[in-house]
Structure 1
């Protein structure tokens, strides 16, 4: 997945900052030795790994705190993927930390029986078990069919508990914290982590609570899609770039953690009326069609870098969407139409059947307002269908793209749909000679 060219140069400083934050405390703590001298290299290395892993777990909270400036170079979907697999790396580092002590300094671990072991050692063991549980549940959530809201609250509660226990373990053990400045360093780290928790769980919900939205309409679309139309209840606005998304909370307070990310489908020229087109795919999305006008909603956004506005100098755009992946594309097409943009556009839109093609009537109308060509692709076409059918393959894409001729290399490509489709389309575009830097994908399953 690639993101706006204007932001790529700013990615390196953020990656460097991450490495500095993770390694600096470890290196500084090793200065001046340990309160347990004579342990040797295995001891020092094990302690260093333990400190580094704890910092990594602490930084995990920063990665999911939705700081726009930090996520802009990568896209928040990539940051969430980064968060997920860094947790596995941190767990592996903790495992090496414990394994080295077990092999080289077993007396340092003491008894595993909580009735005989020091409380801080039991706290460390409990933290490790909880963090491992958090990682396993996150990676296997869909396979285990865990309900999203319940998993999210469990994920948060276990993570907070594990961090508190891990910090207790570090401070009580006291290794390498014998000097005031070293202990102060970890006090600062603990305070920063606590500040992030309070920001995410108290300050941000409080801010959202002061900007409620009202359900103005629920509009049915083809393909089991419902468009939720929201209007501000207090005169505020949500300024966004076409293609971005927001976190939606319905029938719960902003503090409840019952929020879900959805692409904004409406035109960015109207910031006083937000439309979210949502397909029935899970427990929450199936309730959208039952929402009533006048109900209160909360929006946290906008987020994301999947937008034509990052490529204002492009000669034209190619959109490739599958299913409800059309939602952010509709926002971009509607915005271009409202702006009177006449650049050439191509949309390749895949669906299973014709009666499931969301926005098909509006797409016909947009072809009159834009220089837009729409290519519908059906995997189960009806009798007499003369259009494209099957999957969106390299051979299929080559047909409409060949008509672009020399212009193909000057356009920006936006791909959104199920993960398998996105990966296949990215490979097909590469085989067709499209520069990967011009291909921008929105990951479909990142939470």
Structure 2
């Protein structure tokens, strides 16, 4: 994510720099020139990152391979939006610095402002007013996005206004950009970004995101293996394209709270060719907590997907395999084990570590033991924090370090993943490749 965002920002800055290097500052003083170019650069970075965020919001499957999966696309979308808001705030602050520069350096040698009349003048005035209004709203939405306690069902509907706000800011950028931009590489880049972002915003506002990947189906089984886990089995229509073990899908149940919309859940079963999907849904909020009592057999369901590249077929067969799951993060590994049971030719030695807070009450422990009993190549280790055997990243890494090239696949709590990755990087260094599911859609 960091290399992609850094590279994107570098391209925008380079385009701005090429234009700035060719400018003749004339008689303008340095403080005023810095303010003027700072205004242009911050605005370009803000609208560029917003355009990137808008395109990524359309769930472009074509980018899954180069970017590492839809989970990482969503994370990139999130941070592109956050950075866009940061640069928008900086843009606003630079605009407000007018009076401060006047007080410190006076009005003399200020860059001459171009006068526009007629339609262009009217459009520029409107763009300035609408841009300021939209920036305030965007900043407010970013705050709500980062505030995890704000209910998802309300955040989701507020977030749907972002494409409309983007269109206001795109108009602001198009009419207020310097006229000489449009004959320079920076203008060509800006035009491409605005066009891409506008198309993406229209797709979002028309409700067409993911439409061609939605399939109708019906719930065939509902159970509660634990008080905080709901298992839902669905059979989909013939349009379903199949899935790979470890992928996820967006699921919405007809008749439930329409404010919730579709939620992403990992598919916890392999593809057996019968268009049947199993989901293990953890009670993490109001919607998922009420599913067991509200979803019934025969209920219509809409599934959009599949998405993601946390898949069994990507593993390196020449490297030692270590799989680490924490809590509900076990779901992709349930699908992987299910796949290995039906396709024995894919079997290879695996160390599977499962972290739980209470093994005696955890339904996934028995499920894992049953699956692994048929897979002699898979060695299961259950780490129970209530029994004092929780995963300790340093000890875990030390125990596995024997000089062999190792591939670690992790899905679980972010904090545990960070600790494990840091410990492995410190002890194993280049002998390990660490893969993780970045399953956070907000």
Give the structure-1-normalised TM-score: 0.79
Match of 1:303 in 2: 307
Q: How many residue pairs end up in the alignment? A: 410
Match of 2:138 among 91, 106, 131: 131
Match of 2:46 in 1: 53
Contact 1:415–1:439 under 8 Å retained in 2: yes
Q: Determine if the alignment matches structure 1 residue 79 to structure 2 residue 73.
A: yes
Aligned equivalents of 1:185, 1:400: Cα separation in 2: 51
Contact 2:218–2:298 under 8 Å retained in 1: yes
Q: Determine if the alignment matches structure 1 residue 356 to structure 2 residue 361.
A: yes
Match of 2:337 among 333, 344, 352: 333
Match of 1:345 among 343, 350, 353: 350
Match of 2:197 among 193, 196, 199: 193
Match of 2:243 among 240, 244, 256: 240
- State the 1:295 CA deviation: 1.3
Contact 1:238–1:271 under 8 Å retained in 2: no
- CA 1:185 to 1:439, structure 2 compared with 1: closer, same or farther past 3 Å? closer
- CA 1:61 to 1:256, structure 2 compared with 1: closer, same or farther past 3 Å? farther
Aligned equivalents of 2:202, 2:169: Cα separation in 1: 19
Alignment of 1:224-373 (within 5 A): 224-233=228-237, 235-251=238-254, 258-270=261-273, 272-290=275-293, 291-340=295-344, 341-370=346-375, 371-373=377-379
Match of 2:92 in 1: 98
Contact 2:406–2:431 under 8 Å retained in 1: no
- State the 1:149 CA deviation: 2.3
Please list the CA deviations of residues 291-331 of structure 1 after superposition, one character each: whole Å capped at 9, or x if unmatched.
11111212222222212211252455221111111101111
- State the 1:338 CA deviation: 1.0
Please list the CA deviations of residues 51-81 of structure 1 after superposition, one character each: whole Å capped at 9, or x if unmatched.
3311221211112222123233333333333
- State the 1:368 CA deviation: 2.8
- CA 1:28 to 1:202, structure 2 compared with 1: closer, same or farther past 3 Å? farther
Give the structure-2-normalised TM-score: 0.80
SS in 2 for 1:46: helix
Match of 2:171 among 161, 168, 171: 168
Aligned equivalents of 2:226, 2:424: Cα separation in 1: 29
Contact 1:315–1:344 under 8 Å retained in 2: no
Contact 2:54–2:197 under 8 Å retained in 1: yes
Aligned equivalents of 1:302, 1:433: Cα separation in 2: 34
- CA 1:238 to 1:358, structure 2 compared with 1: closer, same or farther past 3 Å? farther
Please list the CA deviations of residues 90-144 of structure 1 after superposition, one character each: whole Å capped at 9, or x if unmatched.
2332333333333347798xxxxxxxx954332121111111111111111x1xx
- CA 1:232 to 1:176, structure 2 compared with 1: closer, same or farther past 3 Å? same
Match of 1:380 in 2: 386
- CA 1:231 to 1:315, structure 2 compared with 1: closer, same or farther past 3 Å? same
Match of 1:428 in 2: 423
Contact 1:25–1:51 under 8 Å retained in 2: no
Aligned equivalents of 2:143, 2:131: Cα separation in 1: 18
Contact 1:314–1:412 under 8 Å retained in 2: no
Aligned equivalents of 1:21, 1:130: Cα separation in 2: 27
Match of 2:121 in 1: none
Aligned equivalents of 2:159, 2:392: Cα separation in 1: 38
Contact 2:356–2:383 under 8 Å retained in 1: yes
SS in 2 for 1:56: helix
- CA 1:170 to 1:401, structure 2 compared with 1: closer, same or farther past 3 Å? closer
Contact 1:316–1:411 under 8 Å retained in 2: yes
SS in 2 for 1:359: helix
Match of 2:219 among 215, 221, 226: 215
Q: Determine if the alignment matches structure 1 residue 120 to structure 2 residue 115.
A: no
Aligned equivalents of 1:32, 1:431: Cα separation in 2: 47
- State the 1:31 CA deviation: 9.7
Q: Structure 1 stretch 236-245 or stretch 272-281: which is displaced more?
A: 236-245
SS in 2 for 1:294: coil
- CA 1:239 to 1:52, structure 2 compared with 1: closer, same or farther past 3 Å? same
- State the 1:391 CA deviation: 2.1
